[in-house]
Amino acid sequence: MSRVDIVEHPALWRAGWYQHAMRMESPNFGPRPSKATIDLVVVHSISLPPGVYSGDAVQRFFCNHLDLHEHPYFEGLSGLHVSSHFYIRRHGELFQFVSADDRAWHAGVSSYRDSTNCNDNSIGIELEGVEGGVFEDEQYESLVALCSAILQRFPVSAFAGHEHVAPNRKADPGPGFDWLLLRHGLGLDAEFFPSTRF
């Protein structure tokens, strides 16, 4: 199957907010460049502290409400203001922090294929997990449903990991992420995905 542009479905999206996600607005975002085309999805992994899958530390981190004194690991996050458009927890719960129409702060210094500054043209999706770890079936189900909705609204032509857009800095989601499962779930050709995975 090749990519076909589809007009926004009003039941799924309102001003860039996906109607099947729990909305928690982050202050960490900005406008996209006027000529930006949203054509890339970047998959990440995160847990705070790493490997702990309980509580709401990630949500509070993206919203600048994380108490840095709660855990020694959090002290290294001081001064960071980041966000992702979406966050999928271990049991598939989906949160959205930034309108997909806006620029979230998830990729940092990055480039992929013909694009630089990937925040400008991408949608960032964080999976609750650790670099190199495996992810749950419920997370893939939620991810496939979300990416299907994204494909209906935006002219996405590529899916990549943080490790692919910032290979010298990042290693997530890592070898535990099943790119083939995502590809088959979306029914897309291999050209949409990192070439090293197929």
Number of domain units in the chain? 1
The confidence score (pLDDT) of residue 11 equals 84
Query: Does residue 2 sit within a domain?
Result: no
Token pair in block for residue 139:
């997370």
Query: Does residue 98 sit within a domain?
Result: yes
The confidence score (pLDDT) of residue 198 equals 45
Give the residue among 94, 11, 25 at the shortest CA–CA distance from 62. Answer: 25
The Cβ of residue 122 has, within 10 Å, a number of other Cβ atoms equal to 30
The confidence score (pLDDT) of residue 140 equals 98
Query: Does residue 141 sit within a domain?
Result: yes
Nearest 5°: phi and psi at 96?
A: -130, 135
What angle is formed at CA 30 by the lines to CA 87 and CA 101, rounded to 5 degrees? 65
3-state secondary structure of 60: helix
What angle is formed at CA 1 by the lines to CA 185 and CA 9, rounded to 5 degrees? 70
Query: Does residue 143 sit within a domain?
Result: yes
Range of the domain at 100: 13-197
The confidence score (pLDDT) of residue 196 equals 60
Q: Please give the positions annotated as active site.
A: 126
The confidence score (pLDDT) of residue 161 equals 98
E strand segments, 72-166: 86-88, 94-96, 103-104, 111-112, 115-116, 122-128, 158-161
> Which residues neighbour 61 within 8 Å (Cβ) at sequence distance 6 or greater?
48, 77, 82
CA 32 from centroid of its chain's CA atoms: 16
The confidence score (pLDDT) of residue 3 equals 40
Question: CA-to-CA distance for 127 and 107, rounded, in angstroms?
Answer: 14
Residue with the two structure tokens 């090293």: 196
What angle is formed at CA 107 by the lines to CA 104 and CA 113, rounded to 5 degrees? 115
The confidence score (pLDDT) of residue 182 equals 97
The confidence score (pLDDT) of residue 7 equals 47
Query: Does residue 1 sit within a domain?
Result: no
Q: Are 140 and 185 in contact (CB under 8 A)?
A: yes
Question: CA-to-CA distance for 191 and 189, rounded, in angstroms?
Answer: 5
The CATH number of the domain where 145 resides is what?
Answer: 3.40.80.10
Query: Does residue 51 sit within a domain?
Result: yes
Query: Does residue 73 sit within a domain?
Result: yes
Query: CA neighbours within 13 Å on the CB side: how many for 36?
Result: 22
Q: Could you tell me the pTM of the whole model? A: 0.93
The confidence score (pLDDT) of residue 4 equals 39
The Cβ of residue 174 has, within 10 Å, a number of other Cβ atoms equal to 17
Token pair in block for residue 166:
């910032």
Query: Does residue 29 sit within a domain?
Result: yes
Cis status, amide bond into 49, omega within 30 of 0:
yes
Local confidence pLDDT in tens for the 198 residues of the chain: 434 344 455 689 999 999 999 999 999 999 999 999 999 999 999 999 999 999 999 999 999 999 999 999 999 999 999 999 999 999 999 999 999 999 999 999 999 998 899 999 999 999 999 999 999 999 999 999 999 999 999 999 999 999 999 999 999 999 999 999 999 999 999 999 998 654
